[in-house]
Amino acid sequence: MTLDLNRRGWMVGAALASGAAAWPALAQDGFDRPPEAPPAPVPPPLTIEQARLPNGLRIVVLPRPGAPRTAIRLIGEGGWLRDPAGKEGLAEVALSMLAQGAKRDGEEMESADIAYAADLLGLPLRLELTPSTAEIALEALPDQCDDAVNLMADLTQRPQLAFEALEHIRSRAADALVLRRADALLLAPWAARRQFWGRAQPVQTSASLKRLRREDVLAFHRQYWRPERAVLVFAGDLTLQAARGLAEDFMGDWRVPKAAPAGPTPALALATATPAATAAQFVSLPQGQGCRLIVQTPVPRGTPPALRELARTLMHQRLAAKLPWPWESEMESLGGGLCWRMSVTLPAPAVPEQLALLKEQLPLLSAEAVTPEDLAMAQALALGDWQAQLAEAPDEGLAAAIAAGGLDDFLQWPQRTKAVSAPVLQLLMSASWRENRTHLLLLGDAGAPAPAQRAWPGLTLATMRAVIGE
């Protein structure tokens, strides 16, 4: 290959020497366009192995040969959508209390013992709450997986759930709540969900936290941590046989209640909820020096995950090209209902102009024809993100798929995204982001309201109480 060591030298030096602002038109054969990429290799099939213990506990193994550590995750059903009416926050408190005390071989383990046992594995215990699941995650070296599974068994089968722990966790949850209210970034997803789903969306308040009793926690735990409804996930260098052996050793005697325990009833199943009437609201947080802008639109129930992801990706690209800010976007599934959300932080002076542009562009961008290049780009991005997640945190992707009931979609992601056609994608996109289906929420400091209201007619000032109920 011939090397042209001087091919780019004209740039800064020449421009400066000549004082020219224009670009010198020098031919640079071979460097003016990117080389062709070879055809994309077909991703190797992603396979999982599964088994069930006699007590119903499901075991899922994602083999990662050569992985130095194994990610382990126990998934239960007590997500925050299960919060009973008036006791919002119960799912979070019940999950946090698991790490506050448990028993092993009849001996008490205090919170410090639990924390130490997990940290000794190399990574702290993580307690993660999603809309539909409560999860305990650990990571261990191959010869420490028994310690990790043993600890998970202690926490879920023999938790103390003591009154003192409830008070400690309640106090921490209350502090977290006041922090969330003061920070537009933390507040945004909750306020946006409440705006979109209305009162169907459980949002914890200081009053709902105060109402929690130890009996509520015990009942919630009994109702949702049950072996026949739990999933134990492994991602690492181990076989199904080894994983099953660990589960049998430590969770084999996890008993199934003979009758389904009576527990608190969730406030509302979002499976039957419909989005609230569209609204455009501005909640002022003083001295914010910036503003969180969120737009949301409904997506038809039952839209396949691959199609959703391609639509989200393509719209994100189009929006970022037209309004070049660091947008974030997601499609959130809450109990089957689907919300497509895009958000960004803007400096206050930029809000009116960007709002006007957004109002004009959203319907145009979503109605734009989906070209073969658009489709290929969205498919490539969806595949690349999937590969990145498999490399970075395979257990998280697997857990999210299990929680959403979309394990097959996750495993066959390359094929599912390839199967989406441009007309179908076009149909979904053009049905979204219409003016009468778009919600707007501004949180923070957007300057005087009048310019923003001119840019987005119908924008009303709202209080925190009106949006999140307290």
Q: Would you say 125 or 428 has its CB closer to another protein?
A: 125
Task: Please report how close the Cβ of residue 424 comes to another protein at its closest, in angstroms.
Answer: 20
* Shortest distance, position 186 Cβ to another protein, whole Å: 9
Task: Tell me whether strands 337-346 and 126-129 are parallel, antiparallel or unpaired.
Answer: unpaired
Pairwise CA distance, residues 292 & 183, whole Å: 10
Helix (H, G, I), strand (E, B) or coil at 32: coil
Nearer to another protein, 334 or 398 (CB): 398
Nearer to another protein, 135 or 139 (CB): 139
Closest distance between another protein and the C-beta of residue 363, in Å?
21
Q: How far is the CB of 202 from another protein (least distance, A)?
A: 22
User: Which residue type is seen at 388?
Assistant: A
Q: Which residues pair with 73 in a beta bridge?
A: 137, 233
In angstroms, the CA 163 to CA 165 distance is 5
| Closest distance of CB 322 from another protein, Å | 10
| Helices 372-392/394-403 angle, 10° precision | 110
| SS3 (DSSP) at 205 | coil
Which CB atom, from 8 or from 199, has the smaller least distance to another protein?
Answer: 8
| Kind plus residue range of the DSSP H or E element containing 138 | strand 134-140
287 φ, ψ (degrees, to nearest 5): 55, 30
Toward another protein, which CB reaches closer, 117 or 251? Answer: 117
CA–CA separation, 110 vs 102, rounded Å?
A: 7
Residue among 34 and 302 whose Cβ is closer to another protein:
34
Least distance (Å) between residue 133 CB and another protein: 21
Judging by DSSP bridges, how do beta strands 439-444 and 280-284 pair with one another?
Answer: parallel
Chain length of the chain: 470
β-sheet bridge partners, residue 235: 62, 71
Alpha carbon of residue 372 to chain centroid: 29
How far apart are alpha carbons 132 and 34 in whole angstroms? 45
Q: Min. distance of Cβ 374 from another protein in angstroms?
A: 10
Task: In angstroms, give the least distance from the CB of 179 to another protein.
Answer: 6
Least distance between another protein and beta carbon 394 (Å): 11
Residue whose CB is less far from another protein, 30 or 257: 30
Q: How big, in percent rounded to 5, are the helix, strand and coil portions of the chain?
A: 50, 20, 35
158 and 109 Cβ atoms separated by less than 8 Å: no
CB 287, min distance to another protein, A:
5
Indicate the residue among 44 and 457 with the shorter CB distance to another protein: 44
State which residue, 138 or 334, has the beta carbon closest to another protein. 138
Radius of gyration of the chain (CA): 26
Residue 161 or 269 with smaller CB distance to another protein: 161
8 A C-beta contact, residue 99 and residue 125: yes
Query: How far is residue 134's CA from residue 429's CA, in Å, rounded to a whole number?
Result: 32
Query: Which residue, 111 or 303, is less far from another protein as judged by CB?
Result: 111
Residue partners of 448: CB distance under 8 A and separation at least 6: none
Amino acid at position 359, single letter? K
Alpha carbon distance 8, 24 (integer Å): 11
Q: Closest approach of Cβ 130 to another protein, in Å?
A: 21
Residue 384 or 458: the one with the smaller Cβ distance to another protein is 384
Reading across the β-sheet that carries 49-52, which strands appear in turn? 49-52, 58-63, 231-236, 70-76, 134-140, 126-129
Q: How far is the CB of 351 from another protein (least distance, A)?
A: 12
Q: What is the rounded distance in angstroms from the CA atom of residue 141 to the CA atom of residue 207?
A: 43
Other residues' Cβ atoms within 10 Å of the Cβ of residue 207 = 12
- Containing 296, the helix (H) or strand (E) segment is strand 291-299
